[in-house]
Amino acid sequence: MRKIFAHISLFLLISCSSGSQNEEGTFAEDAGYIQVVLFHMQKRCESCDAVELETLKLLDEEYAEELNSGIIKFIPLNYQSENGKRAAEILRATGQTLYVVKGERVSNLTSAAFMYAHTHPSYYTDVLRRELDQYLE
């Protein structure tokens, strides 16, 4: 099992060494709003891009009011930057990950995000939608 995990981790690390660079956000510890935090490497792979694309698409289509009012914020962070390293330490992130955070409540959606955003985006967005709706209750 460890060997499989090591291969998957190595694949993600290698595959995320190429791609585009996007603007970085700022994580706020103990914020009173919902933060959708995407950690990525300096250079982005298809999976990282798909997670961001599908996340933003869902937020824009179904949570535009919450985005505009600041109730929800999307925070892309380069895991290798100083800003990203500080946030990763707080959230205990260990690479490309996706969290939904509000105050001390943290949900790790990494598996659903990176396994399905590119290949089965509707499954991923269903998982994210359910999580966001719980945070908004």
Q: Are 84 and 96 a contacting pair, CB within 8 Å?
A: no
Segments forming the whole domain that contains residue 71: 2-136
In the prediction, which pLDDT does 30 show? 85
Q: Is 96 helix (H, G, I), strand (E, B) or coil?
A: coil
Which amino acid appears at position 60 of this protein? D
Tens-digit pLDDT profile for residues 46-102: 888 999 999 999 999 999 999 999 999 999 999 888 889 999 999 999 889 999 999
In angstroms, the CA 66 to CA 27 distance is 17
Helix (H, G, I), strand (E, B) or coil at 104: coil
Give the residue, 22 or 43, on which the prediction is more confident.
43
CATH for 78: 3.40.30.10
Predicted pLDDT at 18: 35
Overall domain count for the chain = 1
Q: What CA–CA distance (Å, rounded) separates 53 from 130?
A: 18
The whole-model pTM stands at 0.80
